[in-house]
A and B are shown apart, each in its own frame.
Chain A
Amino acid sequence: MKHDKSFDVIVCGGGHAGIESALIASRLGCSVLLVTLDIKAIGRMSCNPAIGGLAKGQIVREIDVLGGIMGLATDKSGIQFKILNQSKGKSVWSPRAQVDKREYESFVSSRVLNNNKIEVLQGEVVSLLCSKYRAQGVVLRNGARAFGKSVILTCGTFLNGLIHIGQKKIRAGRMGESGAEGITEFLLSLGFIAGRLKTGTPPRLDSSSVNWGKTSTTRGDDLPLPFSYETSSFDPPNVACHTTTTNLNCKEVIQENLALSPMFSGDVGGVGPRYCPSIEDKVYRFAHHDSHTLFLEPEWLRSDQIYLNGFSTSLPEHIQLKALRLVPGLEHVRFFRPGYAIEYDFFSPAQLKSSLETKNISGLFFAGQINGTSGYEEAAAQGLIAGINAAKLIQEKEPLILKRSEGYIGVMVDDLITKDTLEPYRMFTSRAEYRILLRFSNAHARLCAHADKNNLLSPARYKKIRASLALIKKMLESLNHSVLPSKINSKLLALGESTINQATPLKNILKRPSVTLDSLALGVLGESNKESITKEAKIEVEAIIKYEGYIKRQQDQVDKMKKNESTPLPNNINYFEIKSISNEAREKLSFVQPETFGQAMRVSGVTPADISALSVLFLKRT
C-alpha cells in the first residue's frame, strides 16, 4: 500500500468488532483502512460455531436494526435455527443459530473485501501516531505509517496472547496464528491501564472418530425466524445437532489431574469467566453433579471437525483424550486440535467514554475483547457503536449513546464503562434491569428512530422494519375490537378456559394464559402464517398484551430514573477534594468519572449518601 496515505477511519483487527466498525463507517461515508494480521482470517469465528443464544440473540437483533452485518451473515450461513427459553418467559426468548463457519467467514470477508470504500492491508499495528492527545494514525511493524482522523482498536485476544495446553505454552493470538506484540506497550506508555484475562476453548474432534449412534439429537425450530430484517427468502437447513453427557469415570480422570491444568492451577495469569467455566472448574465446583451435557457442533455443514461445546480445557492433551474416551459415543475419539486456554491483554473500559472513545486520546476508540468482553455478539455490537461514533466524530456530530432502557447494547456499554472488570464480561438478561422491555421482537421498535436519524440502514432493511412495525400496530388495533360469546366460547372451552357472558375486547381474552393468537384463529389477521414477519409480529403482540401490566411498571421505573440519567455531572471533577463522600466513593468515582448522576449511582462502592452529597454540590438550586 502507498506509504503515508490518509483515511477517515483506521480499524486495527479484522474480527467481529473490526468488521462491523469498517462496514458501518464506510456506509456513513468514511474512507476506511482495515489492518489485519491475516487477510484470510477476516471474520474468523475462534470458538463456538454458533451466533446468538441467551441474551446474545437479542444483541444480534439490535445489531441488525442499527445497520450491522452479523444478523445477515448468520441468516446466510445458519444450519439450524432455534429460539431458546421459549418455555421460560416472553421477554427472555433468545434466538440462536448453529452456523457453517466457512460460509459465515466467507460472507463477511467478501463484504469487506468487495467494499470499495474499505482498503484492507495485511500487517501488524505496533504503535499509534498521536499528537497532543489526538489520534492521528498507526505505525506498522514494517515501518509503514497510515494517517487517520480516527483509530479503532479491535485486536481481540491477540495482544500478547499466550496459549496454554497442559505445560506447553505458545505465544499466539489464536491457535495457528501469531499474536501481536507492541501495541500494549505503546498504550501503556500513553497512560492506559491494562490487565490480563483468560478464556478457554474446547477440543475439535474428528467426526469420523465419533460413534454418532450413541449420541442424542435435537433439531431446530420448524418455522425458524431470520435474524436480519434484510433477509427476504429464508429457507435454511435444519441440521440435527448431537449431545452426549460426561459421567463419573470421566469426572474422576479430570479430578485426578487437576494439578496438570494450568488454567485451573493458576499458572495462567488472567482471570477467567465463571459462566463459561472450563471442565476443570465444573468438575471442581459442581462436585455433586456427576455429569455435564456436551454439545457436538459441526464447524460447518458436513464438516469433519466437531466443536465440543461444554468441554473448555487446558489439561494436557493425553488427559483430555483419556477423560473423553470414557464418554458415550467418544470411546475412540481423535482430535484435530486439543482444547487450550489463551491469556491476553485487555484495557479496563472505564477508561472509555460512553461513545467508546478513550478519555485520554481523542479519536481513539476501543471495541471488542480488548475491552474485556467475551463473545462474538458483544464484540460486534461494540464494533458497530465505535464505527458509528468514529464517523460522527469526524462529521462533528454528537455520538450515538444508547440508554440502558433502549437495548442490551446500552446496558453493555454502560456496564463496561461503569463497573469493575474482574472477569470477562458476557451479556445476561439479568444484567438488564429493564429486561421486560428489551425483547428480541421489539428491537426495531426501540431502535428504529436512532437508525433512521443516523442513516444506518439499507433501503431493503428499513422497508422491512417499517412493514413489521406497521403489521404489529395493525394487529394491536384489531385486538381492541370486541367479540361475541357465540363466536368464541367453544374455542375457550376447548382450551380449558372459562367462557364469556358478554361482548369482550379480544385483547382481554388474549390475556388469559392458555390463549394465543393462533388459538383465537379468528382470521382477524388475514395474513399467511408462514411469513416470518407475521410469526414475529404475533410473538410481539402476544408479549405486549399478556405483559401489559409489567411493561407499564418497567416503563414507570424508566421514567423515574430519567431525571437521574439525564442530569450530567461536570467533566474532570476532582473527587479527592470532596470531603463529604466516602473514601471508596472518591477512588471509584475518580477512576470512572461518570457522565451522569444515573451512572454515578451504578458505580460500585457509591452509596446513596454519596449521591446526595454530590447532588448538593453539583445540582443547581432553584
Chain B
Amino acid sequence: MNSGDTIVAPATPLGFSGLAVVRVSGPSAFKFAEIATHKKSLKSRSATLVTFYNKKGEKVDRVVITRFVAPASYSGEDMVEISSHGNPTIVDAIVSTFCSHGARIADPGEFTYRAFINGKMDLIQAEGVAALIKSKTIESVKEQQKIISGSLSKLINKLRSKLVDLVSFLEYQMDISEEDLSAKDKKNVPKKISALHKEVLALSNTFVRGKMLNLGVTAVITGPPNVGKSSLLNALCGENRAIVSSEPGTTRDIVKSEMVLGGVPFVFLDTAGIRVAKSAIEQEGVTRAKKLKEKADLVISVSDNPKAQISKSGSQPHIFVVNKSDLHSKKPNKAIIHISCKNKTGLNVLLQEIKSALKIAPISSEASLLSTPRQSAAISACAKSVERAQNICKTVGLELELVSFELRSGINALDVLLGKTTPEDIINNIFNNLCVGK
C-alpha cells in the first residue's frame, strides 16, 4: 500500500441500482477529476452536477461530484466522490477513466486504511467500519483471509511454484555455479519461460468467462419491425415482458428481460424496430438501439424471411434467427436458426447456440476462473512480466539477472493477490475485510 498513489474504487456494490458512488483519494484526485469533467476548480464540499467524460472525450454519464480537501475528508487526503447512475458499465467506465489518467484501483479497505494512517480514525473505529459492512467475517479469523477459494487458489499457487523454481535455477547459475550454462540449459530456459507465459495467459483469459458469471451478459435482439422479437423475448424468458401486437412500432422503449442460462445471468435487450424514423422519439430509439448493439456481448438478429441476407457487423458473436418457421418451409441453412415462437419450436436449438457462441459450458462453482477485476489485474500483471522475460531472451540475450528481475515481478504480482499474511494478524483482517472502495 503506497500512500503516494492516487486510488480509485466503487464504494457501492456492483449491480443495477439507482445510484452508484465512486471514490477517489490521493494527491492527484482533483487533477484527474478536473480532466474528466472538463471543469477547472470544482467547488469544495458542494455537490455539483457535471458531465463525466472518458479519456477519448466520450460522454460517460451526468454525475454529481463532490470535492473534499485534505484533511477534511474520509481518508484524510484530497478526495472526490462521484455519484452516477447505478449501472455497472458506467461505474466501470468511470473507474477506468481515472485509471487511464494514472490512478490505481484501491486495495480492499485502502480508503479506511489511509484514514487510519492519517490519524482520522483509530483501530477501534476502523474495526467498527468493517463490522458495519460485514458483520459475519470478523468472527472466524481463518475465513477472513480467503481472498480466493478452492481450486483457483491452488492453480495460482502452482503457477507461483513454477515461477519460483525457474528463478531458483537462475539464481543458482548466477550465485553458485562457476560453470557456463550448458547448451541444453540455454535452450531450456527460454522454452520454460514460454510455457509459463502460455499458462499465465490462459488463466488471464478465463476472466472473460469469469466476468460473465459475475457480472452477466448483455444480449441485444435486433431486426426489422414485426418479425416477432418481443415474442422471442417472451418465449426465452417465459414472461410477457414486452407488449406484443402486430402493429409495427409498438416497442418504443428498449425492453429488458433477464434470465439465467447455463449459470450466467443474461440481460436481453429488445430494441426498437429499425426503420426510417418518422418522429424524433423514434429517432432517439433507433440511436439508442445502435449504441447498445455496439456494446453488447451478443447480438441476435431476427427476421421472418428465410431468404434474408445475413450481414454481420461488429466484433461480438452474432446469431441469426428466422422466426415464424410455421409460416414457411424450412430450408436447412447452418447459419440460421429457424424458430416458431407461436409453436415454441427451435427454441432449445437457439439456447444451445447462445451458450456455444459465448462459450458457456457447464462449470462447477469451484472452477478456476478469475472473476473479479482485482484478480484479473494481478494475473495480467504477472503475464506481462513473464512476457517481458520472454522478450529479454529474444532481444537482449540470455541475461539472467534481467530475466530473474522480471520473473520476480511476476511472482510479486501473484503474492499480492494471494495475500500473504498471517491469519492471526488482526489489523490486516480489519482492512482486508473491507471491500475495495471502503
In the assembled complex, A338 has its CB within 8 A of some CB on chain B: no
Query: What is the chain B residue whose CB lies nearest that of A616?
Result: B117
Q: What is the bound-complex CA distance between A613 and B113, given in angstroms? A: 10
Query: Do A607 and B422 form a contact, CB below 8 Å, given A436-B402, A612-B113, A616-B116?
Result: yes
B396 to A513, Cβ gap below 8 A? yes
Check B113 against A607 for contact (C-beta < 8 Å): no
Q: Is B117 within 8 A of A612, CB to CB?
A: yes
B400 at the interface (CB under 8 A from A): yes
Are A547 and B402 in touch, CB under 8 angstroms? yes
Are B428's CB and A550's CB within 8 A? no
Chain B residues with Cβ below 8 Å from A607 are 421-422, 425, 428
Which of B33-74 touch A at CB < 8 Å?
none
Taking CB atoms, residues of chain A closer than 8 Å to B400 are: 88-89, 92
Output the least CB separation between A59 and chain B (Å): 13
Complex Cα distance, B404 from A331, in Å, reads: 42
Asked if A47 is at the interface of the complex by the 8 Å CB criterion, the answer is no
Q: Name A513's contact: one of B1, B397, B421 (CB within 8 Å).
A: B397
Instruction: Tell me the bound Cα distance from A87 to B398 in angstroms.
Output: 8
- With the chains together, A612 CA to B405 CA distance in Å? 27
Once the chains bind, are A85 and B396 in contact (CB under 8 Å)? no
| Cβ < 8 Å to B, chain A residues 606-622 | 607-610, 612-613, 615-616, 621
Q: How far is the CA of A84 from the CA of B119 in the complex (A)?
A: 52
Partner of A91, one of B173, B179, B401, B422: B401
Cβ-defined partner of A621 (8 Å) among B113, B118, B401: B118
Within 8 A of A (CB), among B381-438: 395-402, 404-405, 421-422, 424-425, 427-428, 431
Contact of B178 (CB < 8 Å), options: A84, A89, A553: A84
Contacts of B178 in A (CB 8 A): 53-54, 84
Contacts of A180 in B (CB 8 A): none
A458 within 8 A of B: no
A621-B119 contact, Cβ under 8 Å, with A54-B175, A560-B2: yes
Question: Would you call B180 an interface residue if the criterion is a C-beta within 8 Å of the partner chain's C-beta atoms?
Answer: yes
Q: Is B260 an interface residue (CB 8 A)?
A: no
Given A436-B405, A547-B402, A613 and B427 contact (CB-CB distance below 8 Å):
yes
A400 CA to B171 CA in the complex, in Å? 30
Q: Are A88 and B173 in contact (CB under 8 A)?
A: yes
- Determine which of B181, B396, B422, B427 lies in contact with A88 in the assembled complex, contact meaning CB atoms within 8 Å: B181
Residues A429-451 near B (CB distance < 8 A): 429-430, 435-436
Contact of B116 among A513, A608, A612 (CB under 8 A): A612
Which residues of B sit under 8 angstroms from A582, Cβ to Cβ? 422, 424-425
A497 CB to closest chain B CB (Å) equals 12
Contact with A along B115-138 (1 / 0, CB 8 A): 011110001000000000000000
Looking at B113, B171, B399, the one whose CB has the most chain A CB atoms below 10 A away is B399
| Of the residues A85, A275, A293, A613, contact of B174 by C-beta under 8 Å | A85
| Contact A54 B402, beta carbon cutoff 8 Å | no
Least CB separation from A84: chain B residue? B178
B403's nearest neighbour on chain A, judged by CB, is A89
Q: Is B276 an interface residue (CB 8 A)?
A: no
Q: Which residues of B contact A546 (CB under 8 A)?
A: 396
Query: Does B363 touch A at the CB level, under 8 Å?
Result: no
CB distance from B386 to the nearest CB of A (A): 16
Asked if B427 contacts A435 (CB within 8 A), the reply is no
From A92, A275, A293, A580, B401 is in contact (CB under 8 Å) with: A92
Interface residues of chain A, those whose CB is within 8 Å of chain B, are: 53-55, 84-85, 87-92, 275, 293, 428-430, 435-436, 513, 546-547, 550, 553-554, 560, 580, 582, 607-610, 612-613, 615-616, 621
- Enumerate 17 A-B pairs (CB-CB under 8 Å) in ascending A order: A55-B175, A85-B174, A90-B399, A428-B171, A429-B171, A429-B401, A430-B174, A547-B399, A560-B4, A582-B425, A607-B425, A608-B428, A609-B425, A612-B1, A612-B427, A616-B116, A616-B117
